[in-house]
Amino acid sequence: MRCADFINRRFDWPRDVSPGVNPCVVAYIAVSGVVLLLLLGLALRLAQAEWLPMPPDFFYEMMTAHGVGMVGIAGLAGAGIMWHFLGRYVGLSQGILVANLVLFLAGVVMILAAVFLGGFGGAWTFLYPLPATSGGVWELEAAGLYLGGLLVVGVGFLLFYLDAGRAIIAEYGGLGAALGWPVLIGSHQARLPEPTVIASTMVVIVNTLGLISGATVLGISLINIARPSFVIDPLLAKNMTYFFGHVFINATIYMTVIAVYEILPGYTGREWRASKLFLWGWTASTILVLIAFPHHLLMDFVMPRWALVIGQIASYAAGLPVLVVTAYGALTLVYRSGIRWDAASSLLFLSRSVGPPASCRRLSTPQSGSIWSCTTRCGCPAISISTCCSAWPRWCSASCTIWGMISGRGRACSTASPCGSLQRVAWVSRSSSCTAAKRVCRAAGRSTSPNGWRTTASLRCLDAR
């Protein structure tokens, strides 16, 4: 059973009023939000300030849950964003999306049980050999349950990124091609990948490597608990742990920037095309993110000096290339676009650059007169409710329909299509946008998709009258 079917049946999710929004993606974001609301970090700060009495063992249990929880839910929310937008360009597996969420939740249950029932307080870093050498503070079973839970979460994410890599390779011919390397070396026939695909490819590369490293050290630690005679160099284990941790939490930033690449064009009515500078920037950040992790080991003077120097330089430089090309792209997209600032567009813009506070952009075309371009996800022509589009797609879509009835346009359609920006162009340029969008999609050869949900949901046109 597909995730969408399951959730629709279980929770009576109204598909028709939220076209194009996969309920599983909503589940990813909702789980992340719930975990954030636990406010463990606030409790820890209150304890440090001695405003909240907390014994050391409970403090370190909370610290462990908080650390692993924040890393995990940031990764989950980022993965939801990436799947939602990357799915416009490649055929992602719905089953893997569900499997990752199920494994994540199962792992969370194991981790919470290990921490709050078993008393495990070895921090999210689970630095070898601490899990097995607590001095009797927690049982080995608790340590095993924690490491096992983290391994389950990691396996889910690894499946997720492997599937994304598979889908990208199937569509673009390789990860290098999806990073735009053929374009960089001057091939004129090379296909220019979309910013979302480039960012996703970067994340697939770094996170696959990072998760393999993390799963390996977790497996070794688990064996060490079961067979203490099985040992590993603690410095090597620490390197592997921080390579995984550094890469994984960095990747969340690069997954969420996809939302900027996809939603800001909807506000401005301009397509975000990757330039050569953009391609260089993402390739540079890919490499730098992979080699920056030794800055977490600056207190380990036994580390090779060259590794610490490279790590320190790379840690400062890693975010710069993507920051520069994204901030520059955002500025050129927004400049004189007529964008109206609201909470959603402002936060998207501020997340990558600095600017004034926007809503949907009003577009005037000879064919359609004045229409409103909303976010590409909701994409309702004729109404300006971008914030609601982002936060409450159900309300947005219903409003689109109501507006269509009032205005006489009588048409509402989702733009969350496999052809992405192409459809948006079709959308805003003609009042008969659904038909035009379908035509453009077919011309792009992507009117059909192995993902039935996306195809049926995103290309459905609703006659409101």
Which residues form the interface with another protein (CB under 8 A)? 56-57, 60, 121-123, 125, 127, 129-130, 134-135, 137, 233-235, 238, 299-302
Given the complex with another protein, which of 6 and 59 has the nearer CB atom?
A: 59
Strand pairing class (411-413; 369-373): unpaired
Strand pairing class (361-365; 461-463): unpaired
Nearest to 386 by CA among 403, 361, 364, 406: 361
In a 3-state reduction of DSSP, which class is residue 103?
helix
**Partner residues linked to 371 by β-bridges:** 363
Give the DSSP letter string of 215-261. Answer: HHHHHHHHHHHH-TT----HHHHHHHHHHHHHHHHHHHHHHHHHHHH
Given the complex with another protein, which of 99 and 303 has the nearer CB atom?
A: 303
**From CA 409, how far away is CA 16, in angstroms rounded?**
18
Given the complex with another protein, which of 185 and 299 has the nearer CB atom?
A: 299
Given the complex with another protein, which of 302 and 354 has the nearer CB atom?
A: 302
The least CB distance from residue 35 to another protein, in Å, is 22
Nearest to 102 by CA among 198, 17, 201, 27: 27
The least CB distance from residue 63 to another protein, in Å, is 9
The least CB distance from residue 147 to another protein, in Å, is 16
The least CB distance from residue 67 to another protein, in Å, is 10
The least CB distance from residue 307 to another protein, in Å, is 15
If you ran DSSP here, which 8-state letter would residue 340 be given?
B
* CB contact at 8 A, 27 and 7: yes
Given the complex with another protein, which of 4 and 143 has the nearer CB atom?
A: 143
Using the Cα atoms of residue 357, residue 358, residue 364 and residue 367 in order, give the sign of their dihedral: positive
**What φ, ψ does residue 177 adopt, rounded to 5°?**
-65, -35
The least CB distance from residue 51 to another protein, in Å, is 17
Given the complex with another protein, which of 237 and 333 has the nearer CB atom?
A: 237
* CA 181 to each of CA 206, 271, 288, 302: distance values in angstroms, whole numbers, following the listed order: 17, 21, 17, 38
The least CB distance from residue 127 to another protein, in Å, is 7
In a 3-state reduction of DSSP, which class is residue 365?
strand
The least CB distance from residue 121 to another protein, in Å, is 6
**Partner residues linked to 362 by β-bridges:** 372
Given the complex with another protein, which of 127 and 212 has the nearer CB atom?
A: 127
Given the complex with another protein, which of 129 and 355 has the nearer CB atom?
A: 129
The least CB distance from residue 4 to another protein, in Å, is 42
**From CA 382, how far away is CA 295, in angstroms rounded?**
51
* CB contact at 8 A, 146 and 131: yes
Given the complex with another protein, which of 134 and 337 has the nearer CB atom?
A: 134
